[in-house]
Chain A
Amino acid sequence: GAVVSQHPSRVICKSGTSVKIECRSLDFQATTMFWYRQFPKKSLMLMATSNEGSKATYEQGVEKDKFLINHASLTLSTLTVTSAHPEDSSFYICSARESGTSVNTQYFGPGTRLTVL
């Protein structure tokens, strides 16, 4: 089956630094990728929809200048958390929709645990 990878799986950083998280579709092309955030023992909340070659669409309440999303190729989307603060600590999960298939063909990555000290 289709595989989505995320890198890094875990990252610890100091407050004020920026962190980049990569989401890759390994064996398929993804026109659209999604970024979710999950707090401990909570559900996933959609942060933004990333479309290859165009600007991301952010959900209400998500700061686009804080969470920079770039989808430069059909297999890679990146999420950069700028000037990270402890409240940004969370589990970030991406998913990728395979190009040319039904809207429900969406594969999830393994997640990235971000801890901001």
Chain B
Amino acid sequence: KQEVTQIPAALSVPEGENLVLNCSFTDSAIYNLQWFRQDPGKGLTSLLLIQSSQREQTSGRLNASLDKSSGRSTLYIAASQPGDSATYLCAVWNNAGNMLTFGGGTRLMVKP
């Protein structure tokens, strides 16, 4: 059974810092990996999706990498802003591409 772990569980940084969120998964036979953002009491917003054959994806100040063989992904946020404060969820698609398993999330607080 796939297990997804995110470290750290919570992170507080001053505005402007570059930061890295970590995600690891136990079964490397994945279809894709996806990073989401969730604001308190809200649904999910998809940030980046990395195909299993890809190594990274970039969108604005966000960069996500994938090392499928070692079961790891990182989300890099450059020049963090208070508006980045949210919970960031990593999720992996199983090989059949029909099931999404979520990590526990990293709660990020960016202080002005």
Query: Which residues from chain A sit less than 8 Å from chain B, CB to CB?
Result: 4, 6, 34, 41-46, 49, 91, 93, 95, 102-104, 106, 108-111, 113
Pick the residue among A95, A104, A111 that contacts B41 (CB under 8 A): A111
Select which of B43, B93, B103, B104 is within 8 A of A104 by beta carbon.
B93
A104 B34 Cβ-Cβ under 8 A: yes
Q: Residues of A contacting B79 with CB < 8 Å?
A: none
- B13 in contact (CB, < 8 A): no
| Stretch of B14-22, B62-70, B94-102 with 4 or more beta carbons under 8 angstroms from chain A | B94-102
Q: Is the CB of A42 within 8 A of B97?
A: no
- Chain A hits for B98, CB < 8 A: 49, 103
Residues of A with C-beta under 8 A to B36: 108
Q: Does B31 contact A (CB under 8 A)?
A: yes
Are B99 and A46 touching (Cβ within 8 A)? yes
- Tell whether, in the assembled complex, residue A104 and residue B32 are in contact, meaning their CB atoms are under 8 Å apart: yes
Contacts of B75 in A (CB 8 A): none
Chain A, residue nearest B101 (CB)? A46
- 13 A-B residue pairings within 8 Å (CB atoms): A4-B43, A43-B102, A43-B105, A49-B98, A93-B44, A95-B44, A103-B93, A104-B32, A104-B34, A104-B49, A108-B45, A109-B43, A110-B43
Contacts of A109 in B (CB 8 A): 43
Known contacts A6-B43, A46-B100; can you find 15 more A-B pairs with CB under 8 A? A41-B107, A42-B104, A43-B4, A43-B103, A43-B104, A43-B105, A44-B89, A44-B102, A103-B93, A103-B97, A103-B98, A104-B97, A108-B45, A108-B46, A111-B41
Docked pose: A34 CA to B98 CA in angstroms: 10
